Chain A
């Protein structure tokens, strides 16, 4: 490909990402890592909602630091992203999302990332986006506990709902969430967001 064409493609990609607005529901293991990946990739605007504060037990897998313990997660995440790229706009919403609040918070987002811990909350958000945000696609995760067998993590594409995970490994005492697998799932979600924002995957072998 000629240099000016490559340059043009890069500019288009950059512009599309810079003008995108992506919602992230939950700022724990999935949400914090996904948000950072999207910010580094150049997504211009992130709407992140979570009600919780950073706890020392979160530091084994979530994108926070020891000196942020006790702070609202969304504010700590906004600071961390600001240190990576101050041009990324982070709308930090400290609230517990229900269907009404989710529909209001993520209005205008072309993609919403489901990054909750609790399965019932995941179901609530998926239904809310599918029913009440007809312009948005939801990228959700199910089954990301434990470690190993990474090839079992798959992607199920169902129109405006895309699911990542193995769909069976629930978090429990024996099966804790661990940084590598949670990070893989978070970045799978982020990669799917890029694919949606850029209208498809990057050309193979390019």
Chain B
């Protein structure tokens, strides 16, 4: 399926992938992420049960230390 991740088109095998699996695939460190699908925030506790599907616009932002 084709989706966009952080505004870049991306081809992902299969017709859906959980947010957790997508983060793993992209090697994002797990607890410090902001994830949105189609502009909607996905809560951390829902990463396993929320699925990205064909055409979805996904945003994944890393929170890194510094302040």
Residues on A facing B (Cβ under 8 Å): 26, 28-31, 115-120, 122-123, 126-127, 130-131, 140-145, 156, 158-159, 161, 163, 165, 167-171, 177, 182
Contacts A122-B32, A123-B32, A161-B34 given; does A143 touch B66 at CB 8 Å = yes
Contacts A158-B59, A163-B34 given; does A119 touch B41 at CB 8 Å = no
**In the bound complex, do residue B66 and residue A158 qualify as a contact, i.e. CB atoms below 8 Å apart?**
no
Residues of B within 8 A of A127 (CB): 43-44
Residues of A within 8 A of B14 (CB): none
Residues on B facing A (Cβ under 8 Å): 31-34, 36, 39, 41, 43-44, 59, 61-67
Whole-angstrom distance between the alpha carbons of A169 and B62 in the complex? 10
**In the bound complex, do residue B65 and residue A170 qualify as a contact, i.e. CB atoms below 8 Å apart?**
yes
**In the bound complex, do residue A169 and residue B64 qualify as a contact, i.e. CB atoms below 8 Å apart?**
yes
Contacts A158-B34, A163-B34 given; does A119 touch B39 at CB 8 Å = no
Whole-angstrom distance between the alpha carbons of A34 and B66 in the complex? 15
18 interchain pairs (CB within 8 A)?
A29-B67, A117-B66, A123-B31, A130-B41, A142-B63, A142-B64, A144-B66, A158-B34, A158-B41, A159-B41, A163-B34, A167-B61, A167-B64, A170-B64, A170-B66, A171-B64, A177-B66, A182-B66
Q: Indicate which residue in B32, B59, B61 contacts A120 across the interface (CB closer than 8 Å).
A: B32
**In the bound complex, do residue A143 and residue B67 qualify as a contact, i.e. CB atoms below 8 Å apart?**
no
**In the bound complex, do residue A163 and residue B61 qualify as a contact, i.e. CB atoms below 8 Å apart?**
yes
